[in-house]
Amino acid sequence: MSRKRVWDDAAKLTRPASTVRCVDVGETVVVVLEPFTPPANDAFVPGELAALAFTVPVAYPDAQPDATGFFVRPAGLKLADGRTSPASTSDASLPGIGNGWLKFSWAPKGAQWDPAIDTLETYLANIEARFLRRN
Amino acid sequence: MRVAMRLGAWLEAAIEAMLRFAKAMTSPGDTGPDARLEIAWTSGVRDATWGLALRAAPREGAVIALCRVSSGASRRTLIVQDPLPPQEGDLSYHRGYVVTITSRYWNRVIDDLSGRSPETGIAVLHTHPGRGTPLWSTDDDTADRELAAFLFGEGFLKGSAPLVSIVVSADQLRARELRWTKDAGVRMHMVTRWRTLSRSRFEFRRTADAGPDVYQPPSWADRSVRVFGRDGQRLLADVHVAFVGTGGVGSITAEDSARMGFGRMSLWDPDIIKSVNINRSGSFTFADAQRGAGKAETLAAMIGRVALVRDIWLCWRKADVRHSREFARLLDVDVINMAVDDVRVRNFVNALAYAHFIPVLDAGNVIRSTAEDDVTVDAATVEAGGARVSVLVPGGPCLWCSGHITSRKLSLAYRTEAEVTADRARGYVEHLGPEHAPSVMPMNAMTAALVELRLQDLLYGLSKRPVSEVYYDLIGGTLDELPRDRVDGCRHCELVEGLGDAAELLHADD
């Protein structure tokens, strides 16, 4: 339960061609994966995201990572038709990082967060599962 | 002449209040070797040590337990727990009744210690059967000195670990911490108070080494002395109660507590008074709001004017109680009344209650109204409402066990106001709650009264029952006890219980 724990667990996030960096912002840590290729990437334009980011409270893992959603770049991400934005998304500023992000207000689905089991890896897997389901 | 007299009285009150603040703000010091020493344990551990050892009467009895330290600004608490009861052959007797702890018992204790953190120490309790103040014999003095020199000198106890010698009669306890250095040898420091905690009772008692309790309840305590007697009033004067959050519920509870006769009070609140606070709080005025006065500061001034104990020890802090610089002061208190919305604070104080053996009464209320997101509507319907008081005490369930704190609620509490506002604007983020929680004076007064009644019950042992949570239903008009049980292996209470200074609490500035 500390900022160090967030940094340590973020360092364990391995995704092909992605680098992970952490930014301390107040009582949270913003974890950024650059670039990030979501599963079922043919559903989006562009298919490879410049970045995926989410905030993690320093009380992690007692406190789960952002329960209201996550952020991606480019902010102009569209569905495969090239015109429609994904559901429940909007332009956003990522606290401590800056503007130009698209917030996916996609709360984690499935079982409730269990601090004894869940990690940033399971949180990221949940995001990927939602990309795969496309909602 | 009348004006002059009023002015004189006002000046006198103002000077008195200033002196009281000055005294309060200079009182906390650094924890040093001369810090006040206290013992804290649960009633279960008391029974498994003191109670068990007394069964050897008319011979002496002895039990060893583990011990850890909680270091406050001016108080060092020795937390006694995990008794290691003697087995057959662990004790021997001289002259038929003087107990000796055998090397076999010591070996078992040392083996147990070797698997624990270096901050873990030992409490050795033995009995002097009979009633009254127990006295250490010359043999006891010699044995304690030899024990300290052996355990510290041979490295079985680290320098920071506590070693406590406790002697008890049938009804009284004395204790001393034994410290050892190679150069100075053994030094003994007397324990002046012990705190026994259970889900049904908080007991605070002075040892004979505390000196006489000279507090005399004043004549103006007449009506409450007629309820709990002069000793009952002395008990309150001896208790240090903290208020974490002095808003709607906290301000009423704190003012009432001062009127009841608590002798030491500490207040924490980082907020300032706003005009919207006035119709649902105690003490605060529109003038306070106009000058942007701090809540804790303003409440302290009021308390100085109304406290039953006229030389009450007062400390107020315009600060987040989670900040590391506030921590030692918080560890000096006996009981915490908590009334805050911030889940981060509640999570922090929740862990502290168990790790440092400082019981907490956590209070809150909620009202659901059709007007909660729109103050322009003329007609509103109250759909639900309730007030809750939970008791957090070692051995009992915590706010996580009861579901009042969850990983999701805690996560949401770390979001900035800007983020919450942005999500509100998005409209499709669920469970954000109303922008400002609806609140009215009667619900806050009701919640404060429940806190005060629960604390009164726990201090005086009125119901003698473990009541973890009471809940008042605004719509149903009922007051219920809610069944709450500890979750086995809970990492927020059971696994940190009694760790004291070894517990890792997350400060706001970490």
Cα–Cα distance, B157 to B164 (Å, whole number): 12
A27 interaction partners in chain B (CB closer than 8 Å): 344, 414, 508
Q: How close A62 comes to chain B (CA, Å)? A: 6
High-pLDDT (> 70) share of chain A, %: 99
Q: How close B482 comes to chain A (CA, Å)? A: 24
At residue B33 the predicted structure's pLDDT band, cuts being 50, 70 and 90, is low
State residue A81's pLDDT score: 85
* Preceding peptide of B397 cis, ω within 30°: no
A114 interaction partners in chain B (CB closer than 8 Å): 407
At residue B394 the predicted structure's pLDDT band, cuts being 50, 70 and 90, is very high
For chain B, what are the domain ranges?
36-210, 222-502
High-pLDDT (> 70) share of chain B, %: 93
* Mean pLDDT, chain B, integer: 91
Residue of B nearest to A116 (CA): B491
High-pLDDT (> 90) share of chain B, %: 82
Greatest Cα-to-Cα distance within chain B, rounded to the nearest angstrom: 86
Fold of B222-502: Rossmann fold (3.40.50)
- Does A105 contact B at CB distance below 8 Å? yes
- Taking only the tens place, the pLDDT of each residue in B153-169 is 999 999 889 999 999 99
**CATH no. for B36-210:** 3.40.140
pTM of the model: 0.92
- Taking only the tens place, the pLDDT of each residue in B37-56 is 999 999 999 999 999 999 99
Q: How close B493 comes to chain A (CA, Å)? A: 13
Q: When comparing pLDDT for B9 and A88, which is higher?
A: A88
For chain A, what are the domain ranges?
3-133
Amino acid letter, B9 = A
A115 interaction partners in chain B (CB closer than 8 Å): 407, 491
Task: Report CB contact under 8 Å: B407, A65.
Answer: no
B423 interaction partners in chain A (CB closer than 8 Å): 68, 105
Taking 80 as the threshold, does the pLDDT of residue B18 lie above it?
Answer: no
State residue B6's pLDDT score: 41
Burial class (CB in 10 A: 0-12, 13-18, 19+), B419: buried
CB atoms within 10 A of CB B324: 11
B262 and B309 in contact (C-beta within 8 Å)? yes
- Does B508 contact A at CB distance below 8 Å? yes
- Taking only the tens place, the pLDDT of each residue in B258-317 is 999 999 999 999 999 999 999 999 999 999 999 999 999 999 999 999 999 999 999 999
Main-chain phi, psi angles of B202, to 5 degrees = -110, 120
Q: What angle do CA B437, B443, B447 make, to 5 degrees?
A: 105
Task: Report CB contact under 8 Å: A27, B423.
Answer: no
State residue B499's pLDDT score: 97
- Preferred mutation among B324, B349, B411 to probe A, highest tally of A CBs within 10 A: B411
